Amino acid sequence: MIDTRRLTLAPAAPQHLLTLIEHPEAFEASTGLRLAPGLREFYASGDVSPAWLSALRRSSDPDPWRHGFFIVHREAKSVIGTAGFKGPADEDGMVEIAYGVAPGFQGQGYATEAAAALVDYAFATPGVRLVRAHTLAEPNASTRVLLKNGFRHCGMVVDPEDGPVWRWELSRRS
């Protein structure tokens, strides 16, 4: 668990993620956590990466590097989003973060707070030297989240699933 000022990032168990994706109506009963409106629809929409979903089905134990965290709003007592990594650090010490917040909770700093917690978690891990993120190739809420967290824009790359995206990086402070 990672606690921030307003949030708890709770490690996501593979079985809970699969329930959210495949049987979203059963998620609340199986976890005891309420879902913010709009979050269930994202996971049921088919926008989830097929490679990630396949790896999830082969997993059993929570692994923050592979399965990420549920973003739990402590006051509302509900899951308002997810945040995580696209795997453990590579041979160069790089990890990539991803995050998303339900529509009703956007624009209130929750994604910025969750992204900051991911960065702190990553840099507290020996061997992690660089945190990377990708956004749509245009100014948007996610680019603002990254700028507020000290990331620098490094240019455009082509993602195999998303097409042209902007790359952002933050290096560990010495």
- The mean per-residue pLDDT over the stretch 74-101 comes to 95
Asked if pLDDT for residue 22 goes beyond 70, the answer is yes
**165 vs 42, more confident:** 165
Q: Counting beta carbons within 10 angstroms of the beta carbon of residue 111, is it exposed (0 to 12), middle (13 to 18) or buried (19 or more)?
A: buried
Closest CA to 10 of 72, 73, 97: 72
Q: What are the extents of the domains in the chain?
A: 2-127
Q: Which residue has the higher pLDDT, 119 or 17?
A: 119
Beta bridge partners of residue 73, listed in sequence order: 7, 78
- pLDDT band at residue 24 using 50, 70 and 90 as cut-offs: confident
pLDDT, tens only, 114-167: 999 999 999 999 999 999 999 999 999 999 999 999 999 999 999 988 899 999
Which pLDDT belongs to residue 153? 98
What kind of architecture, by CATH, is found in domain 2-127?
3-Layer(aba) Sandwich (3.40)
pLDDT tier for residue 174 given thresholds of 50, 70 and 90:
low
